[in-house]
Amino acid sequence: MRSMGATGASIPSPDSEQAKGQQEAHNSQETCSFLKESNREECPSFWAGKEPPVILISLDGFRPEYLSRRALENGEYRGEWAAATIKCLAQSGISSPYMMPSYPTITFPNHYSIITGLYPESHGIIGNQFHDPDLKDNFSIYTGATDPKWWQNGEPLWTTVRKQGKISATYFWPGSDVTFAEEEQRSPNYFFKYKKSTSFGERVNQVLRWMDLPIDKRPAFTTLYFEEPDSIGHKVGPNTANATEKVTIVDRQIRKLIDGLTERNISNCVNIIIVSDHGMADSPQGQKLVDLVKYVPDVANSTLTFLGPVTSIRPLKDTKGEEERIGGALSCKDPHMRVFNKWELPYRMHSVRTRRIPNLMVDMDISWRAVIKEEAWGSSGAHGWDNLYLNMQAIFVAYGPAFKNREVVRPFENVQLYNLMCHLVNVTPSENNGTWGALHHLLMDPPNLNVDANEELLDMPPILRTMAETKDGAKKRTGCALVNGEGNGKTSPEIEIEMKMTEDRENELLIAHAPLGIPFVVSSEPSTIPNDSNVLLINEDYLTGFDTESGIPLWTSYTVSGNMTNNTNIGKWIEDPRLETNHTGSCQRLSSIVQTKDVDYIHLFPKEFAMQKMDAWLDTNLLEVPSGIAHFIATMIQMLSEASVSRGPLHVISGPTRQHSPCVFFVVTACRMNSTAGEWNLTTCPVEHRDLQAFLLPVREWKYQNSCISDRDFIAYNVATLKDVERVTDFQFFPDLPMEDKLNLLARTTLDSTLIIDPTRQ
């Protein structure tokens, strides 16, 4: 067995029987008796306040896998857990298999996302180093990071707490030692300037001293930060005995805190939340490097570049031509590297809405780094890669009187924590990217979920019915000749379509194709969709929300069961006879647009799933997309068919977005059946068994990567959350679900489901 040297020893690998025997031998020792069995009513009256204080602890770079490691001593397994205290808190309180960090998976951006509830593009701390073109200055965590000019966006929780008359304290946290002239309330009441040499023990002792203060001076919210196991992970790599030892060291500090609270008889009078900012992956020195100079010889002199797992490139000459020269030179050159214009990055990365993010971004495979000639620093571990990599995930453990006991909950994004902590401290949250109530299911006594009066839904849009009922003597339309490629001046033959249906049949189809209700426009903010032009069209195979003013389908909703029919591949577009003469249909809209050879017309409800041929060819089901991406949509349809065979009936809602970069969205749900659930269907399926996967597929060709990515990788790369889709569509989905169930779906991460494809990056 290798001895543990300064450069990092590998983790010992005993055979499975030996490990099993050691585990069984030490089971009796691995009790959590140090966690005092008590309840909040036992808190000392002189100490207890209205709400228990919250202590938020960050273990930098602590990846979830560390919790499954056994402790080591002199290179041998001791049998107990390396993080025995945290394991006990997780088993006795509430935990998650992982917490998803924000992108990029870097220290400063994620600590500030946790404490503000904002994605980095919103709070502005987009990396540990970056350039601000408006300030004409560079940010670095090593120099000048406490200058308030960098921290103008977002409100951290210590500020929220102090503004609302309560006390906050921080023993280190990125941004907490920034002081604002004449704005004292933006800083915590108590804080320390960051000093890495401060011992972990002193940090814990100070938190305990804060807990000893009288109630009018005691912090309602406190942070505690440890640099480990991040530092050792960088130095020698995460898969080493040295990293395991550091896990034990920080775990002992958590135990010291718990013991100190127990001595004061307040261990069950404080809500403790333990998190990390990101994970850690092997990144061997001098290996798995892509030298940008090989493809752009002048990159060092012509750009401002921040290198590493996530690399940003800002051309010094700020022109479209210069960006295309550099981006084109890097395009598809190395299979471990992808280059994007930032507007082409998947929406899930939330990496657009600040000028601090330059136009050229480089995405690397895990463990790979971009360099210029050679690495500027040496390390054996790193982070920063896409948050779809499992090794980039963070931890979440919570214990205290507010939290449920002995529960493991679904993973969630770290921006959701801010709202939860605001509730625990009883303050009103500032504006953030989380969802109020998304984590209330973690609580022993969750508050009532009151519907915001400003978010009332519109009434169901009017249903347009047949021509015979509503359009007697209607003026004849132009037809779909141009869309069908029949040239100017021609008209499509008038086709009689039998579309009459009874009200009972309409109701049956509404249930079949929208089992949880049709998408509604949210009226809390100005919408891009005119309310009075939004109509509902009910077809045998699908439902459509259609904007009769713009002539564009808003969404289609349908159920897929089994293989594609393949019986409607040949046909012609026809005008929907239900549209009034003052309405604009897709054919009419497109007839006034200059036609190009680079556009394909797709069926929003796929014709491959149609049982009624004419339904699929109505122009209210027509959407034009660039020819270069039509094959991605076709592959998505094939994948829907495959999933409907392997997973049972699917409910699909899809349509175009009108915000951000143009996309076609897909929201797909199914019921995870088991042997006792034969009676469940897409309407009655319990939320815990309801599978959901969403996508935002760009309808613009990727400028630099389009020719070197497979269709299925493209689709997996553009996975999205339900919350993402609601943000970019102005829709609220599944209005018939109870609020608690809807929040369950909104809180899920992009890694939650493999319904259509496994998005996990390897």
Residues with catalytic function: 107
Let me know the angle formed at the C-alpha of 717 by 564 and 525, rounded to the nearest 5 degrees. 90
How does DSSP classify residue 474? P
Contacts of 360 (CB under 8 A, 6+ apart): 312, 313, 314, 315, 323, 326, 327, 339, 340, 341, 342
Q: Using CA atoms, how far apart are residues 64 and 79, in angstroms rounded to an integer?
A: 19
Quick check: 585 and 579 in contact, CB under 8 A? Answer: yes
The answer to whether the beta carbons of residues 584 and 549 sit under 8 Å apart is yes
**Residues across the chain:** 762
The first and second tokens of residue 655, run together, are 């349509």
Cis bond before residue 229 (omega within 30° of 0): yes
The angle subtended at Cα 201 by Cα 197 and Cα 204, nearest 5°, is: 110
Closest CA to 745 of 633, 667, 673, 658: 667
In angstroms, the CA 41 to CA 29 distance is: 30
User: Checking DSSP bridges between strand 552-560 and strand 543-547, what pairing results, if any?
Assistant: antiparallel
Contacts of 736 (CB under 8 A, 6+ apart): 516, 517
Beta strands in 279-405 (DSSP E): 281-282, 289-291, 303-306, 310-315, 337-341, 360-364, 369-371, 381-382, 394-399
The stretches of 379-461 forming alpha helices (DSSP H) are 417-425
Cβ atoms of residues 92 and 406 within 8 Å: yes
Q: Are 482 and 476 in contact (CB under 8 A)?
A: no
Calculate ∠ Cα 17-19-23, nearest 5°.
115
Q: For residue 606, which of 591, 592, 623 has the smallest C-alpha distance?
A: 623
The whole-angstrom separation of Cα 737 and Cα 398 is 28
Pull the structure tokens for residue 360.
Answer: 């050229």
Task: From residue 621, give the alpha-carbon distance in Å to each of 484, 539, 556, 654.
Answer: 14, 11, 8, 11
In 3D space, the residue among 458, 455, 418, 467 whose CA is nearest the CA of residue 438 turns out to be: 418
The maximal CA–CA distance of the chain, rounded, in angstroms, is 92
Of 249, 195, 284, 251, nearest in space to 395 by CA: 251
Return the number of other C-beta atoms located less than 10 Å from residue 293's C-beta.
13
Phi-psi domain of 450 (left: phi exceeds 0; alpha: psi -120 through 50; beta: other): beta
- Determine how many CB atoms are found less than 10 A away from the CB of residue 39: 9
Distance between CA 697 and CA 608 in Å, rounded? 20
CA distances from 362 to 311, 413, 515 (A): 5, 23, 41
Q: In angstroms, rounded to a whole number, what is the distance separating the alpha carbons of residues 467 and 629?
A: 35
Q: Which of these, 534, 601, 544, 606, lies nearest to 569 by C-alpha position?
A: 606
Other Cβ atoms less than 10 A from the Cβ of 405: the count is 10
